[in-house]
């Protein structure tokens, strides 16, 4: 009902007065012939008021003669009649078109770029870099590639752990969350180099301080590698201790282990091709769903398509977007031990790509075992790498 009324508002409708003793018969005949009337009210004994579409009004006239009723048009409403009135006032029409186009154009442009973070230094630096990369006031919003700028921020700012770009009207808001970095040691602050993880020392490159370990030593996380306490021989033959900021590179052999589980019988979902379509309208914070009939799929996936603005964003948040309900069917696929092992191998290979590029991979080994209780194949990846494990720790 609501959809029909909205549609008639766009196409235009008239408020009519039905005069005659057989007004009810005329309404019944209209319903029989598929002519939709709404908001029907009795004004007097032989007078009815109703609303009908423009097309329905012309079809209703022939039925009125058969039922000996007369029809009078009281008001004309809707977009159709408004546009007809504007045709006679061309200057006003052109002014309205120009005004709407100007507002739409202005609302499509980014007017300000804001960066939300508590670190003012980081905020100013990101704003400068975003402007250098092309995100600045004056660009069109539809040209804004969020992924490109997010990748740029995360790649160039190691102290940023999370970033998001949101468009609010004509503003672009960049939200940043700083990574909790270990406290930096000042240049003149004495410190030691300690192990950040367990491993076997392979190489020690001493730049400042005294080496505590040598190649072949086994170290645990937190063990001292290079001491910032340097021994000096005094003039009287006594040994003196000088505290410095230790510097150096300590490479160690480190092992990493990853594991995945793949079931012997896998559930695979595929589309059947059957689709149900609906529309989602948003007015401010309210959402209205319009769809014909129910979604009669037992299993389906809901997919939101591109959001479109009904009116320029400057006038309010009034949007709509189609929603697709795609039917899916679930099938059981028997992989077996061999198939599950191959799948586990592929997943472990993907995890191998996550290793940093500055580590040297010495050896990698994959093992596969069957867990009869869970009916899964467990794949284990053991990677042996050589990397710098030294981090600074202030001398207390």
pLDDT in tens, 319-370: 778 888 888 888 888 888 888 888 888 888 888 777 777 778 888 888 888 8
The 3-state DSSP class for residue 347 equals helix
| pLDDT attached to residue 329 | 85
Is 386 domain-assigned?
Answer: no
**Cα separation, 318 vs 260, whole angstroms:** 46
**127 shares a domain with 65:** no
Max CA distance (Å), the chain: 132
Which pair of structure tokens corresponds to residue 122?
């980081």
| pLDDT attached to residue 260 | 87
Q: What is the DSSP letter of 374?
A: T
For the segment 43-59, what is each residue's pLDDT rounded down to a tens digit?
888 888 888 888 888 88
**301 shares a domain with 323:** yes
Is 243 domain-assigned?
Answer: yes
- pTM flag (> 0.85): no
**328 shares a domain with 278:** yes
**Terminal-to-terminal C-alpha distance of the chain:** 77
**203 shares a domain with 133:** no
Q: What is the DSSP letter of 140?
A: B
Domain count for the chain, please give it.
4
Angle between helix axes 2-11 and 79-87 (nearest 10 degrees) is 10
Question: Could you list the residue range(s) of the whole structural domain that residue 292 is in?
Answer: 265-334
Is 352 domain-assigned?
Answer: no
**Cα separation, 45 vs 19, whole angstroms:** 9
The 3-state DSSP class for residue 316 equals coil
Residue ranges in the chain modelled with pLDDT below 50: 185
3-state per-residue secondary structure call for 191-232:
EEEEECCCEEEEEEEEEECEECCCCCCEECCCCEEEECEEEE
| pLDDT attached to residue 313 | 64
Is 107 domain-assigned?
Answer: no
> Residues 300, 328: contact at Cβ < 8 Å?
yes
DSSP element (H, E) containing 340: helix 336-352
Angle between helix axes 146-156 and 120-133 (nearest 10 degrees) is 130
**66 shares a domain with 16:** yes
| pLDDT attached to residue 238 | 66
| pLDDT attached to residue 316 | 65
Instruction: Please choose, from the candidates 193, 181, 190, the residue with its C-alpha nearest in 3D space to the C-alpha of residue 250.
Output: 193
The count of C-alpha atoms lying within 13 angstroms of the C-alpha of 266, restricted to the half-sphere facing its C-beta, is 17
| pLDDT attached to residue 233 | 60
**Cα separation, 270 vs 64, whole angstroms:** 56
**Cα separation, 182 vs 196, whole angstroms:** 12
Which pair of structure tokens corresponds to residue 31?
């319903």
Contacts of 104 (CB under 8 A, 6+ apart): 312
> Residues 51, 34: contact at Cβ < 8 Å?
no
DSSP element (H, E) containing 311: none
**78 shares a domain with 8:** yes
Which pair of structure tokens corresponds to residue 209?
């301080």
Is 161 domain-assigned?
Answer: yes
Within 10 A of 338 (CB to CB), how many other CB atoms are there? 10
**231 shares a domain with 285:** no
| pLDDT attached to residue 198 | 92
| pLDDT attached to residue 180 | 67
**Cα separation, 159 vs 157, whole angstroms:** 5
Is 256 domain-assigned?
Answer: no
The CATH number of residue 118's host domain is: 3.10.20.310
| pLDDT attached to residue 359 | 79
**169 shares a domain with 238:** no
Is 47 domain-assigned?
Answer: yes
Is 100 domain-assigned?
Answer: no
Residue positions counted in the chain: 396
The 3-state DSSP class for residue 23 equals helix
Within 10 A of 56 (CB to CB), how many other CB atoms are there? 19
User: Exposed (0-12), middle (13-18) or buried (19+): which is 78, by Cβ within 10 Å?
Assistant: middle
Instruction: Please choose, from the candidates 246, 217, 214, the residue with its C-alpha nearest in 3D space to the C-alpha of residue 230.
Output: 246
| pLDDT attached to residue 82 | 72
């Amino acid at each position: 009902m609501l959809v029909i009324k909205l549609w008639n508002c766009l196409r235009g409708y008239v408020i009519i007065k039905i005069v005659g003793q057989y007004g009810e018969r005329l309404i019944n005949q209209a319903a029989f012939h598929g002519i939709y009337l709404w908001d029907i009210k009795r004004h007097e004994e032989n007078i009815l008021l109703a609303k009908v579409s423009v097309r329905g009004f012309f079809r209703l006239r022939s039925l009125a003669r058969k039922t000996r009723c007369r029809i009078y048009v009281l008001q004309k409403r809707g977009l159709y009649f408004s546009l007809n009135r504007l045709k006679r006032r061309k200057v006003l029409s052109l002014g309205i078109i120009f005004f709407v186009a100007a507002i739409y154009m202005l609302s499509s442009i980014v007017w300000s770029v804001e960066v939300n973070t508590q670190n003012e230094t980081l905020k100013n630096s990101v704003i400068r870099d975003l402007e250098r990369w092309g995100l600045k006031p004056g660009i069109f919003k539809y040209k804004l590639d969020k992924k490109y700028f997010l990748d740029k921020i995360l790649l160039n700012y190691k102290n940023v752990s999370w970033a998001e770009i949101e468009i609010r009207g004509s503003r672009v808001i960049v939200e940043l969350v700083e990574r909790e970095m270990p406290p930096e040691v000042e240049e003149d602050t004495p410190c030691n180099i300690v192990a950040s993880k367990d491993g076997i020392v392979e190489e020690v490159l001493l730049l400042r301080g005294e080496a505590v370990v040598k190649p072949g030593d086994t170290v645990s996380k937190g063990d001292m590698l290079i001491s910032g306490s340097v021994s000096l021989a005094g003039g009287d033959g006594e040994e003196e201790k000088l505290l410095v900021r230790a510097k150096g590179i300590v490479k160690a052999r480190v092992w990493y282990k990853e594991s995945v589980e793949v079931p012997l019988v896998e559930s695979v979902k595929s589309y059947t091709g059957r689709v149900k379509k609906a529309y989602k309208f948003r007015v401010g914070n309210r959402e209205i769903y319009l769809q014909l009939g129910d979604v009669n799929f037992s299993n389906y996936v809901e997919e939101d398509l591109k959001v479109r603005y009904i009116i320029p964003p400057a006038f309010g948040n009034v949007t709509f977007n189609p929603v697709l309900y795609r039917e899916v069917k679930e099938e059981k696929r028997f992989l077996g031990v061999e198939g599950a092992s191959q799948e586990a191998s592929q997943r472990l290979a993907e995890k191998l790509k996550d290793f940093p590029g500055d580590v040297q991979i010495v050896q990698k080994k994959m093992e596969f075992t069957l867990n009869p209780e869970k009916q899964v194949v467990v794949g284990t990846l053991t990677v042996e790498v050589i990397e710098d494990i030294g981090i600074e720790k202030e001398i207390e």
